[in-house]
Amino acid sequence: MRIVIIGAGVVGLSIARVLSMYKGLDIVVVEKEPDVGWGASKANTSIIHPGHEEDPELHPLRARLCVEGNKLWRQWVKELDIPAKWPGELMVFTNSEEEKEALRYIDTARRNNVPGVRAVYGDELRRLEPAISPMAVGAVYAPTAGNISPFEAVAALAENLVENGGRILVNTLVKSVRIKGKAVEGVETSGGFIQADIVINAAGVHADEISHSAGVEEDFVIKPRKGEYIVFDEDTSVKPLRLLHTTPTSLTKGVYAITTTGGDLLIGPTAVDMPYELKDDTSTTLEGIEYLLREAGKLLREVPPRSLITRTFAGVRPEPPHGEWLIKVYEEPWGFINVAGIRSPGLTAAPAIAYYVADMISKSYAVSLERRSDWKPYRRGFPRLHGKSLREIDELVSVNPDYGEVVCYCRTVSKAEILEAVKRIKTIGAQVTLDGVKFRTKAGFGRCQGSFCRWRIAGIIAGLEGKEMHEVIVKRERYGLGDVKKMLREGT
């Protein structure tokens, strides 16, 4: 039985990983981008939420799968060697009105069986978080919160899927779902028709369009909601130990200030509803930056100066009607499954969503899911120079001399890591791009944002691919370097 999954984000790849555990399933993931995880999966806050912010009466499925996902990620990050931390989070309040709102989540935690959630004040708050703002009156502490590297998570899921026999087709836009009679026949794509017995729609902000093409849920419309972020230099003096965020509103879980798994200070997101036609607009704004800096003052005892901002970025997340996830199996057309409108806490819930979908397939379509004895749960990352001692570096270099050549000085990334990233990109069938290497190695994430290392990485890729340097792509057919030879000839 062939199962086609539309969308190689964290949800689609999690579903693919779980389904690859079972016998007799041919798993194909179709992705419009050149690489995996280039939608909302790479532009988010990276939080693994505890589940105390999901009302089990209003959103029972979200609440249940969030709590389950938090537990599953603890297993998955070990199996897939994904950078992760579990520092807990503090929902900060700065006045009595915010306090009243925040304290409601202690009861929500109890109803969702989320352990250890309680209010903290005064000296205890400042012991838990030395970087806390003097504006903070108190906070709701949720000790089971964590954060992961979302870029490495999607890469790890993709590698593990391919290792277990799944396939990923990149640069392949799904135009529509083809229906024959009362059942799906497959998907029409920019690369031709792909036959399928089951089609799973996990297309992020474009999932409503896919659903409509299958003739279902015609009233289901996804609202694009933009979230902007600020990243500060990793040498910033004030970085929180915990995951800090302001008291949630009707639009958002709040603005976060966190230290990423890579050691950066990240602040965000905003929450701005966008026109429907701007689903792919990831531009940033001065208004967004100003708002985030103001909100950061509620969280941190000192907001770093603007001169230490290394990058701003934005992601567009899919906001479904009334905030309800659409996870549904259809009898007509038989074989079509929606996993659409997966707004926050989608990253957290992704593993649990995957098992939920597998169970739906088994029950609704009477598919016997028998576990493979040869399924491989483990994937290993590759050694990194960053943070290693001199002795550890000497050991790496003795095994592979390419670890002795530093390509990115901001993040201490070696040529060996660049080469390994390129190899892994090719292994999953993705297109080798500068951004693909950046997300897997962190080369270009530092203070100079690639000003020093980008051309060197392009040179390595060009040599491996048999191309000119200016032919190496950053992302989405955008080139990172001009044709230097041509410019010299023309005197431009």
CB 128 within 8 A of CB 90: yes
Tell how far CA 235 is from the center of its chain: 24
Report the CATH superfamily, name and number, of domain 1-83+147-221+321-381: FAD/NAD(P)-binding domain (3.50.50.60)
Residue range 89-143+223-319 forms a domain whose CATH class is: alpha beta
Q: Write down the pLDDT at residue 483.
A: 57
Q: Which residue in this structure is represented by tokens 């009105």?
A: 97
Q: Which residues of 90-118 are buried (b: 16+ CB within 10 A; e: fewer)?
A: bbbbbeeebbeebbebbebbeebebeebe
Number of residues that make up the chain = 492
Closest CA to 124 of 246, 294, 242: 242
Please state the three-class secondary structure of 70-84 as a single string: HHHHHHHHHHHCCCE
Look at residue 146 in the predicted model and tell me its pLDDT.
98
**DSSP for 91-111?**
EEE-SHHHHHHHHHHHHHHHH
The catalytically annotated residue of 49, 52, 206, 245 is 49
Element spanning 66, H or E: helix 60-80
Torsion of CA 444, 447, 448, 453, to 10 degrees: -40
H or E element at residue 406: strand 406-408
pTM of the model: 0.96
pLDDT of residue 481: 67
- Compute the distance between CA of residue 234 and CA of residue 264 in angstroms, rounded to an integer: 4
* Strands of the sheet with 47-48, listed across from one edge: 47-48, 146-148, 84-85
For every residue of 173-199, DSSP letters joined together read -EEEEEEETTEEEEEEETTEEEE-SEE
Which residues contact residue 407 at a Cβ distance below 8 angstroms, ignoring those fewer than 6 apart? 413, 414, 415, 417, 418, 443, 453, 456, 457, 460
- Residue 183 contacts residue 198 (beta carbons within 8 Å): no
Amino acid 375: pLDDT: 98
- At 265 the three-state DSSP class reads strand
Position 489 scores a pLDDT of 64
Residue 189 CA to residue 96 CA, distance in Å, equals 54
What parts of the chain have a pLDDT lower than 70?
477-492
Helix 434-441 to helix 150-163 angle, to the nearest 10 degrees?
A: 100
d(CA 200, CA 339): 7
CA gyration radius, the chain: 23
Per-residue confidence (pLDDT) for residue 478, from 0 to 100: 64
| Whole-number Cα distances in Å, 217 to 207, 302, 327, 340 | 11, 48, 12, 11
> Which pLDDT value is given to residue 26?
98
Alpha-carbon separation of residue 158 from 27, 224, 281, 423, 457 (angstroms): 12, 26, 26, 13, 23
49 labelled catalytic: yes
